[in-house]
Amino acid sequence: MSSNQPKKYDLVLGNQSRASASAVVLGGIEGVQRRLSTEVIEHKIAALPSALNYGEQGLTLVIKALNDPADQVKEFAHNLLKNRNELRVKVALREYIKRWYSIRYDGLYKTNHIYDERRKLEYCKYLRFYPDGTLLTKSTNSSVEQVEKLLCKDNFIQIDTYKVFNKDIKISTEKFYCATDCWGKIHMHGNTISLNPYDHYITNRRNKDNFNDAYEEYHFIKL
């Protein structure tokens, strides 16, 4: 039987936007490749699970989708692969995280404006990461240009540190009387980081994905 014969998990496609009465039935690995080559995100996502029914050749297509132009497709491919144990899959996933979820060092991360009711003061929080694991933080109502000059290692006595674990980030602050940690999430492309500043107050915490509602979003500003 030809590999082009449709199977139960193959789709019927017409043009790229919708199936029609004259649609062609695309079967086998060729049909999966055809769907993945379209510009329609929904067709690509629908094709990815089918690709895994075609052995190593199909697995290669899903790995390739980790670098698809559409973020939704990349994420869907990642979710399909993240629990697999093949060495080439693990290598591809490491490269995927490194490429699409890396911290950026060419600027600052900044929150939206925060209003302190007690002090009647509006300010923003800033983060500046360095590749060596150093993190500088500042809460101020100064301009971005002023903060850029302030967030310099030579100007700081208190320097925090950070470590990245796949899409997660752990920030450690050491003071003379205690040390505190908080966890965060790095979003795709590294343009946004969500931090839970109250993480260290939660005892016996086992799941760092549980942010409750106590998180702050920092958005990247290129300098």
Query: Given 100, 118, 136, which residue is the final one in a domain?
Result: 100
Whether 148 and 113 share a structural domain = yes
Whether 131 and 211 share a structural domain = yes
122 within some domain: yes
Whether 89 and 16 share a structural domain = yes
| Predicted local confidence at residue 119, as pLDDT | 80
31 within some domain: yes
| Predicted local confidence at residue 165, as pLDDT | 95
| Predicted local confidence at residue 206, as pLDDT | 45
Query: Given 68, 100, 132, which residue is the final one in a domain?
Result: 100
Whether 138 and 196 share a structural domain = yes
Question: What CA–CA distance (Å, rounded) separates 37 from 39?
Answer: 7
| Predicted local confidence at residue 3, as pLDDT | 46
- Per-residue pLDDT 10s for the chain (223 aa) are 444 454 444 444 444 444 332 223 457 999 999 999 999 999 999 999 999 999 999 999 999 999 999 999 999 999 999 999 999 999 999 999 999 999 999 999 999 999 888 888 899 999 999 999 999 999 999 999 999 998 988 877 778 999 999 999 999 987 766 678 899 999 999 999 999 876 554 444 445 444 455 789 999 999 9
53 within some domain: yes
Whether 49 and 77 share a structural domain = yes
137 within some domain: yes
Whether 117 and 27 share a structural domain = no
Residue 190 zone, left/alpha/beta (φ > 0; ψ -120 to 50; rest): left
Whether 80 and 131 share a structural domain = no
CA dist 206 → 14, 56, 146 (Å)? 49, 37, 39
Domain range holding 32?
12-100
| Predicted local confidence at residue 180, as pLDDT | 84
Whether 115 and 85 share a structural domain = no
Tally of domains within the chain = 2
| Predicted local confidence at residue 137, as pLDDT | 93
107, containing H or E segment? strand 107-110
Whether 131 and 61 share a structural domain = no
| Predicted local confidence at residue 97, as pLDDT | 97
pTM higher than 0.85: no
Long-range contacts of 156-163 (CB under 8 A, 24+ apart): 159/134, 159/135, 160/134, 160/135, 160/136, 161/133, 161/134, 161/135, 162/103, 162/129, 162/133, 162/134, 162/135, 163/133
Whether 70 and 152 share a structural domain = no
Query: Given 32, 65, 100, which residue is the final one in a domain?
Result: 100
